[in-house]
């Protein structure tokens, strides 16, 4: 993974963030909630410890119940609706950042694909990374 800093923000620039240190994981998530929340076939997510995220600006939030039965809160810009990160009843104190909100998304590369059982047939994934039908065992940093 790159040594350079991971910085990003929403579409309109009102909310900016910086990730301190190396991500714990980067995954392609094909779950139904990601599809509905992003309007895409899958979303690319960066798992980090909670204390690795430094925010400038205050996102709006939307909370629902995730696949595991725990609550999931999505954080997004109230002006442009750009998705930023997700928190919830995850293993440990984790935040899940939307990789597409990075200023340079090429700084990260997914190590696996999860919830592939929900993937639309037209959405193509890298066949060279492991694919999981649901949620794999995750490192918790």
Residues of the shown chain interacting with Zn ion in the complex, contacts defined by CB under 5 A: 10, 12, 14, 29, 31, 34, 77, 79-80, 82
Q: Which is nearer to Zn ion, 11 or 124 (CB)?
A: 11
Copy the structure tokens of residue 88: 């919830």
The per-type count for the chain, helices as H runs and strands as E runs, is 1, 10
Q: Which is nearer to Zn ion, 40 or 79 (CB)?
A: 79
Residue 118 Cβ vs Zn ion, minimum distance, rounded to whole Å: 8
Q: Which residues lie below 8 Å from residue 104, measured CB to CB, with a gap of 6+?
A: none
Copy the structure tokens of residue 100: 């597409």
> 32 in helix, strand or coil?
helix
Q: Which is nearer to Zn ion, 19 or 30 (CB)?
A: 30
**What's CA 10's distance to the chain center, in Å?**
13
Residue 130 Cβ vs Zn ion, minimum distance, rounded to whole Å: 16
Residue 60 Cβ vs Zn ion, minimum distance, rounded to whole Å: 10
């Amino acid at each position: 993974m790159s040594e350079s800093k991971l910085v990003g923000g929403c579409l309109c620039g009102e909310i900016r963030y910086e990730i301190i240190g190396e991500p714990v994981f980067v995954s392609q998530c094909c779950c139904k909630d990601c599809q509905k929340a992003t309007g895409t076939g899958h979303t690319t997510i960066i798992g980090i410890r909670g204390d690795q995220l430094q925010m400038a600006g205050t996102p709006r939030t939307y909370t629902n119940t995730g696949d595991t039965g725990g609550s999931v809160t999505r954080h997004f810009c109230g002006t442009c609706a750009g998705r930023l990160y997700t928190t919830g009843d995850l293993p440990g104190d984790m935040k899940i950042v939307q990789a597409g909100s990075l200023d340079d998304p090429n700084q990260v590369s997914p190590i696996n694909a999860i919830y592939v059982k929900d993937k639309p047939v037209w959405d193509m994934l890298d066949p060279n990374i492991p694919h999981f039908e649901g949620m794999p065992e995750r490192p918790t940093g």
